[in-house]
Amino acid sequence: MKEIAVKAAHEGGCVLLQKFGGVLDVGFKGAIDLVTEADRAAEEAVVGIIRHTFPRHAVLAEEAEHGLSEGEYRWIIDPLDGTTNYTHGFPWFAVSIALEVRGEVVIGVVYNPAHQELFVAEKGQGAYCNDVQIRVSDTRRLDRSLLATGFPYDRKESEVNNYDHFVNFQQAAQACRRPGAASLDLAYTAAGRFDGYWEMKLKPWDVAAGQLLVKEAGGRISNFAGGDFDIFSPEILASNGAVHREMIEVLRHGRCPESFTSKT
């Protein structure tokens, strides 16, 4: 199954690279939430490979319905994470594919075609980048940490928009970055390039593969309050584990979707 996920990610990435930098048909799913012909074409390529091998498996994908979306085996797919970057010609985007078995993600693949980096994790088998095992960083202090985050699509309408957390972490950490692709933020946390990452209002396909990468690389995943995380949670906190508690304390001082008012 891992081999099929990798094959599908490469195929989706090839589609994205073929269309990258060209004239795109761009649509809007919301005021600033983009969708392009590249998203749709990459999703069709990914789903086609998976369906050919596993026709009875369920598929949950970002851009379209592909028949059964619930089942014992479910593939969770983001064909183009970082669409805004992609449409502007900024080469920071990825294909994200996860396999969930009986409600648990057991395979995660994040492929950055522009940089030719393939991140792969399998439950209990560790995490890898281009076949080299990766580990989270050993940074012990938040004030020496490089963090990543992103902002929700409703940031102009909602007061729960992550701006407050961003300012607070800029003061508490060494620095913060906002690259624009959640799956790669998580992959980079798994690889020790970021020490921590937080974000809110994401979808399952944004985080399913990346959160497994962090876990298998020795990191920690939770909600903002340190409670249990699942891929349908409205918030995610990922770190090397060592700075996790400090990050939770910073998050207590800002607005959160739910965790500090209804802990799990």
pLDDT below 50 — which residues of the chain? 30-33, 263-264
Q: For residues 74 and 58, give the distance between their C-alpha atoms in angstroms, rounded to a whole number.
A: 4
| Amino acid 157: pLDDT | 83
Q: How high is the pLDDT of residue 33?
A: 45
Helix (H) or strand (E) holding 236: strand 235-239
Q: How many CA atoms lie within 13 A of 256 on its CB side?
A: 22
Q: Which of 160, 155, 247 shows the shortest CA–CA distance to 197?
A: 247
**CB contact at 8 A, 49 and 8:** yes
> Which candidate, 122, 89, 116, 104, places its Cα nearest to that of 5?
122
> For residue 182, what pLDDT is reported?
98
Give the percent of the chain with pLDDT over 90: 79
Q: What is the pLDDT of residue 36?
A: 77
What pLDDT score was predicted for residue 122? 98
**pLDDT recorded at residue 37:** 84
How far apart are the C-alpha atoms of 79 and 96, rounded to whole Å?
6
- Enumerate residues 6+ apart whose C-beta is below 8 A from 249: none
| 28/148 Cα distance (integer angstroms) | 26
DSSP tag of 30: S
